[in-house]
Amino acid sequence: MVAVLEEIARHRLVPVVVADSVAEGSFIVDALAEGGLPVAEITFRTAAAPDAIAAIASRGDILVGAGTIVSPAQVDTAVDAGARFLVSPGFHPAVADRAAERGVPLVPGAISASEIMAALAAGITTVKLFPAETSGGLPALRALAAPFGDVRFVPTGGIDAANLDAYLAHPRVTAVGGSWMLPRDAVEARDAARIARATSDAVARVSASSQAAPAGLPNG
């Protein structure tokens, strides 16, 4: 689990992918990889998610995870399909327990001190600040980071090219999640070049962040 979190921390970007089909998911990860980002969180917002994860995992060149995990059953489905990390919009003990049993890191959503404390009690030290922008943005992150010195954050929700640099600059941000590099009209038009350009720009911003945070602490 530590190795996966360290890989996420090296890339510092987690694209949030909604794929309506296996073909669409494959197209998206191809465009992301072309832009220099071999990471994808395939959300369980569509019925195609498990098959898309399986197809992407079989390639061997993409760090693929599953998002919008809200039940232990989804943990099993995602891991069986080949997901190497799991992301949840909130914290639920049963989901955390099942992820630990399956040996796959879970990054649960947390937007309050109580949620962070619950995650810590489950042995989780990397949480998803979600929804980041509508829940206070960077001021909220700074406030939550202060009393929890061992916690690292993956802010997600409302982050785009305009505020990416500010989030990356925070020393407790392991990575940033979002879908701004995947505009829906570009996906529908299969405009791989546009997606690759937006992804390349985000990757360049990570590289230019001279004070990049160290690798995230392991969960568990």
Q: How confident is the model at residue 220 (pLDDT cuts 50, 70, 90)?
A: very low
% of the chain residues with pLDDT over 70: 95
CA 21 to chain centre: 20
Among residues 24, 34, 41, 101, the one annotated as catalytic is 41
pLDDT at 34 over 90: yes
* 41: annotated active-site residue: yes
Residue 90 CA: distances (Å) to CA of 3, 68, 108, 131, 135: 23, 9, 5, 10, 13
* 128: annotated active-site residue: yes
Average pLDDT of the residues in 109-115: 97
Q: How confident is the model at residue 43 (pLDDT cuts 50, 70, 90)?
A: very high
Q: Please report the pLDDT score of residue 1 as a whole number.
A: 83
Q: Please report the pLDDT score of residue 209 as a whole number.
A: 86
Among residues 7, 101, 115, 128, the one annotated as catalytic is 128
Edge-first strand order for the sheet with 106-108 is 106-108, 86-88, 63-67, 39-43, 13-17, 176-178
% of the chain residues with pLDDT over 90: 94
Q: CA 162, CA 99: separation in Å to the nearest integer?
A: 34
pLDDT at 217 over 90: no
